[in-house]
Amino acid sequence: MAGNEISGYNFSAIEKKWQSYWQENQTFAAPDGLDKPKFYVLDMFPYPSSEGLHVGHPEGYTASDIVSRYKRMKGFNVLHPMGYDAFGLPAEQYAVQTGTHPQVTTAKNINNIERQIKMFGFSYDWSRRLATTDIDYYCWTQWIFLKMFNSWYDPIADAARPISELIQKLENHEYMVSPTGEIIYDTTHPISVLAGEPVGTFKYQELTVQQQRQIIDDHRLAYIAEVPVNWCPKLGTVLANEEVNSEGYSERGNYPVFRRALKQWMLRITRYAERLLEDLEELDWPESIKIMQRNWIGKSTGAEVCFAIEGKDDEVIEVYTTRPDTLFGATYMVLSPEHPLVAELTTDLQRQAVLEYVRQAARKSELERTADTKEKTGVFIGTYAINPVNQERIPIWVADYVLMGYGTGAIMAVPAHDTRDLEFAEKFDLPIIQVVQPPEDVDWHGYVDEGIAVNSGPYDGLTTAEFKKKITDWLEEQNLGRGAVNYKLRDWLFSRQRYWGEPFPIVHCEKCGTVSLPEEDLPLELTETDDFTPDISDDPDSVPSPPLGKLTEWINTTCPSCGGSAQRELNTMPQWAGSCWYYLRYLDAKNNQAPFDKDKERYWMPVDLYIGGAEHAVLHLLYARFWHKVLYDLGWVSTKEPFVKLVNQGMILGEDNQKMSKSRGNVVNPDTVVEQYGADSFRLYEMFMGPLQTVKPWRMQDVEGVYRFLNKAWRMIIDAGGSVHANITDAQPEGEALRRLHKTIKKVTEDIETLAFNTAISQMMIFVNEYLRLEKRSKKAMETFVLLLSPFAPHIAEELWQRLGHPVSLAYETWPSYNPKLTIDPEVELAVQINGKTRAKITVPADSEEKTIEETALESENVRSHLAGKTVRKVIVVKNRLVNIVAN
């Protein structure tokens, strides 16, 4: 099987030859700002793991490479770059275990993976290569972080703005400050406090320096907050929700994760929830990915409602509900265990039980808290609330099925029409009152859909939608509530207690608080150490101690603001940071004055085609969109969205139809395949397996098929002696052969446009099978075929192109065009059906008149015998397709 024959298709020699040709001639370097239309084709860059590439990587890379090569031949200036997402836990875990510096491991892994990527002959512009761990890359990651730290979200402009503008507006008294520390943007109206007295406001200057700083820090897009986080003592770090699986274990390493309140860096992505949701509309992305993002953002509309507390005039409980129309059915309330009013509202009699419950809830791991989904728990706190719509006295409970992080952390429970409340009410014997009438034959117990209001006083008979509107208006009039929107999306937990990540360009100063480094001081280099080990423990109560904390010399520095002594921030950024903007750095990878040049950004952006795995459906793609929007608001990028079109390649399974994994022993190593069959066969096979977007199993046997095809293509042009085949003549192709050529150009062109590479390859196979049988082959047809093949199997195509007499690479040859007339056969075979069953075939000239077709069909012998004794009722003729005779 190996191509060792001297005169035959010797893929290893050919592939080596052309890869060095491309490199020496810089064939795929993309000049900036050419006077050509641009096309930006982006791959999701890989994490350089020690295992190297698996066969899933080159699937997407081959698809994007085909498009890149095709677009170049179509006259586009194509940007097609590659790089490495190189920060991250695995290299660091390895460092902790072996003492090898992550830098060393990472460099080694990048070398290996780059060797692999290069062996496929992808047409990357390697001069733009980057790794997120490069100092001149993360310098600008830090720079973008500073932009976020020094920005706030202006609700009036509905955009991020420099924080200096906020300070200025506060100083000028355009904005005031409420006693609770909130900013009052509209100073012409006194603030209204729900069910309370309007209260006084402060001028910024009336606040202490500490208070001023607090206000400002609370509005930065990057801020520090004490939040319940996922603490993983075994990794010695906190993890984002997304890095914890549903069983409550870390995705990396599968260690238990505990909930703890810790001070962490956060990014205010929630302010962008609405824009991230809205702007999805205009994107050419798979609908399933858009839906996943929508669900992740989780917008809901409803109302916030105030419930008075019996015996307490100075407090109310605010709840959020999407069903204000069920207010009359609220029979109890629930506060989440973390709710600030729990302590205050608990009666002495219940205090011990409640405190115990709250303490337990706080200690519960994510696992325990979600595992017992069936058994609801909770404790009555001893106090009652008053239902504002009917003055009913309803008990207040504390229960961990209500989450502090969503809505107001408190709910009104409507057991009749909410599954969770129903479960809880049944367990604790709380009253269940129907307030929605479902359609006939549907039980109202636990009916959660819309219906007609009942037991709702004056509102009886209203539909859910009408009721919602009326009651929300009423609540607003009474100052008891208002319409409200909520999102499931949470702010992004942005710090890790690890060594191998971007250091925060931040110092903590006793006098000045949290202070950012000036931009000129960037990069803040990750300092050298040989002690990467965070304090790892089995104790969920252990205190995080980042490895950077051991580097006393590095930690102690001077405050850029006051010059006094200060300490550096000890956390580092999460792996996602680097991948949030790499597509922008490619535009200008060597710039050391700015992250990228604005003119280059305007020329190249947006990304026209982004190909990668669906596993990044929400996280990477949402985070990157968020950063992009921040940069857009601050005037650094010119488009609202980074990625116009997104395609997810489907996973490649092992031969056993299972996910490839080391433990199953079904992993296919691309190196072996390339060695056996060559890169061109590898590329071709990955594209021929099936549609790019679907999941499909690897079958080593099938690689043989495309390999044979390339051999046939070779033999079609090159004879046994190694010269161009004597059958190839300068004559123009004619007849059937000419039509086959034009059909092939059409099919391959259209299929590349729609990323249907598998059927494009089928068509080329048909072409080769047919032309191999011809006595004489037109050179023009051979050249055209080689050009069509070249995006798929570029090495063999270049070699054949050269042997056909062209000294220069075909990479910038004009893509073949076809004559539509030559894609149609002069005669067509039609099926003749009787009552929908095919009974005969007839051959007629293309585009024959319906009448002629009908006549020819009825003359056919088999048709006549089937029609014997029947009456023809109707004849349907579909031109160039079939005839259907209806008879009985």
Partner RNA sequence: GCCGAAGUGGCGGAACUGGCAGACGCGCGGGAUUCAAAAUCCCGUCCUGGCAACAGGGUGAGGGUUCGAUUCCCUCCUUCGGCACCA
Residues 607-646 that bind RNA (CB under 7 A): 614-615, 617-618
Q: Rounded to the nearest whole angstrom, what is the least distance from the CB of residue 110 to RNA in the complex?
A: 27
* Amino acid at residue number 501: G
| Residues from 108 through 147 that contact RNA (CB under 7 A) | none
- Residue 86 or 410: which CB sits closer to RNA? 410
- Residue 711 or 809: which CB sits closer to RNA? 711
Q: Check binding of 835 to RNA (CB under 7 A).
A: yes
Q: Look at residue 578 and give its three-state secondary structure.
A: helix
Q: Rounded to the nearest whole angstrom, what is the least distance from the CB of residue 592 to RNA in the complex?
A: 38
Stretch that binds RNA, among 71-79, 428-436, 724-732, 834-842 (CB under 7 A): 834-842
Q: Check binding of 874 to RNA (CB under 7 A).
A: yes
Contacts of 611 (CB under 8 A, 6+ apart): 41, 42, 43, 44, 60, 61, 63, 64, 646, 647, 648, 649
- Residue 482 or 696: which CB sits closer to RNA? 696
- Residue 374 or 590: which CB sits closer to RNA? 374
| Residues from 664 through 693 that contact RNA (CB under 7 A) | 688-691
Two structure tokens written together for 563: 């010059």
Q: Give the chain's count of helices (H) and strands (E).
A: 28, 35
Judged on CB neighbours under 10 Å (0-12, 13-18, 19+), 140 is: buried
Between the alpha carbon of residue 471 and those of residues 326, 460, 463, 582, the distances in Å are 10, 12, 12, 49
Contacts of 543 (CB under 8 A, 6+ apart): none
Instruction: Figure out which of the listed residues 172, 527, 769, 814 binds RNA, where binding follows CB under 7 A.
Output: 769
Q: Using CB under 7 A, count the residues that bind RNA.
A: 90
Q: Rounded to the nearest whole angstrom, what is the least distance from the CB of residue 887 to RNA in the complex?
A: 10
Q: Rounded to the nearest whole angstrom, what is the least distance from the CB of residue 789 to RNA in the complex?
A: 14
Q: Rounded to the nearest whole angstrom, what is the least distance from the CB of residue 310 to RNA in the complex?
A: 22
* Amino acid at residue number 196: G
- Residue 214 or 856: which CB sits closer to RNA? 856
* Region for 562 from its dihedrals, namely left if φ exceeds 0, alpha if ψ lies in -120 to 50, beta otherwise: alpha
Judged on CB neighbours under 10 Å (0-12, 13-18, 19+), 404 is: middle
Q: Rounded to the nearest whole angstrom, what is the least distance from the CB of residue 723 to RNA in the complex?
A: 18
- Residue 606 or 654: which CB sits closer to RNA? 654
**H or E stretch covering 752:** helix 735-753
Q: Rounded to the nearest whole angstrom, what is the least distance from the CB of residue 488 to RNA in the complex?
A: 3
Instruction: Figure out which of the listed residues 356, 829, 849, 859 binds RNA, where binding follows CB under 7 A.
Output: 829
- Helix ranges, 441-495 (H): 464-477
Contacts of 609 (CB under 8 A, 6+ apart): 39, 40, 41, 42, 64, 67, 644, 645, 647
| Residues from 275 through 334 that contact RNA (CB under 7 A) | 287-288, 291-292, 295-296, 298, 300, 302, 320-323
Q: Check binding of 538 to RNA (CB under 7 A).
A: no
- Residue 129 or 470: which CB sits closer to RNA? 470
- Residue 150 or 377: which CB sits closer to RNA? 377
Instruction: Figure out which of the listed residues 71, 376, 468, 628 binds RNA, where binding follows CB under 7 A.
Output: 376
Residues pairing with 567 in the sheet: 508, 556
Closest Cα to residue 52, out of 82, 84, 80?
84
| Residues from 330 through 369 that contact RNA (CB under 7 A) | 336, 369
Q: Rounded to the nearest whole angstrom, what is the least distance from the CB of residue 366 to RNA in the complex?
A: 8
- Residue 237 or 336: which CB sits closer to RNA? 336
Tell me the per-residue interface mask from 836 to 855 with RNA, x by CB under 7 A, - otherwise: xxxx-x--------------
Between the alpha carbon of residue 295 and those of residues 238, 397, 419, the distances in Å are 25, 29, 20
Q: Rounded to the nearest whole angstrom, what is the least distance from the CB of residue 355 to RNA in the complex?
A: 19
Q: What is the DSSP secondary structure assignment for residue 659, as one 8-state letter?
A: B
Q: Rounded to the nearest whole angstrom, what is the least distance from the CB of residue 15 to RNA in the complex?
A: 19
- Residue 267 or 402: which CB sits closer to RNA? 402
- Residue 555 or 824: which CB sits closer to RNA? 824
* Region for 867 from its dihedrals, namely left if φ exceeds 0, alpha if ψ lies in -120 to 50, beta otherwise: alpha
Closest Cα to residue 260, out of 363, 184, 112, 177?
363
Two structure tokens written together for 141: 């990651």
| Residues from 737 through 756 that contact RNA (CB under 7 A) | 756
Q: Rounded to the nearest whole angstrom, what is the least distance from the CB of residue 369 to RNA in the complex?
A: 6
- Residue 242 or 502: which CB sits closer to RNA? 242
| Residues from 220 through 259 that contact RNA (CB under 7 A) | 241-242, 246
Residues 554/527, Cβ–Cβ less than 8 Å:
yes
Instruction: Note if the bond before 90 is cis, omega within 30 degrees.
Output: no
d(Cα 144, Cα 161) in Å, to the nearest integer?
A: 14
Q: What is the DSSP annotation of 753-782?
A: HTT-HHHHHHHHHHHHHHHHT-SSEEHHHH
Stretch that binds RNA, among 509-517, 569-577, 729-737, 874-882 (CB under 7 A): 874-882
- Residue 27 or 322: which CB sits closer to RNA? 322
Q: Rounded to the nearest whole angstrom, what is the least distance from the CB of residue 241 to RNA in the complex?
A: 6
Contacts of 603 (CB under 8 A, 6+ apart): 32, 33, 38
Residues 508/566, Cβ–Cβ less than 8 Å:
yes
Instruction: Figure out which of the listed residues 234, 699, 725, 806 binds RNA, where binding follows CB under 7 A.
Output: 699
**How many CA within 13 A on the CB side of residue 450?**
8
The pair phi, psi for residue 545, each rounded to 5°, is -135, 100
Tell me the per-residue interface mask from 772 to 791 with RNA, x by CB under 7 A, - otherwise: xx------------------
Instruction: Figure out which of the listed residues 51, 165, 282, 702 binds RNA, where binding follows CB under 7 A.
Output: 702
Q: Check binding of 549 to RNA (CB under 7 A).
A: no
- Residue 407 or 546: which CB sits closer to RNA? 407
Q: Check binding of 372 to RNA (CB under 7 A).
A: yes
| Residues from 29 through 68 that contact RNA (CB under 7 A) | none
- Residue 213 or 696: which CB sits closer to RNA? 696
| Residues from 438 through 497 that contact RNA (CB under 7 A) | 486, 488
User: Going along 414-531, which residue ranges are E strands?
Assistant: 436-437, 452-453, 481-486, 492-493, 506-509, 513-516
Instruction: Figure out which of the listed residues 15, 85, 418, 783 binds RNA, where binding follows CB under 7 A.
Output: 418
- Residue 101 or 468: which CB sits closer to RNA? 468
Instruction: Figure out which of the listed residues 761, 781, 811, 853 binds RNA, where binding follows CB under 7 A.
Output: 761
d(Cα 500, Cα 339) in Å, to the nearest integer?
A: 36
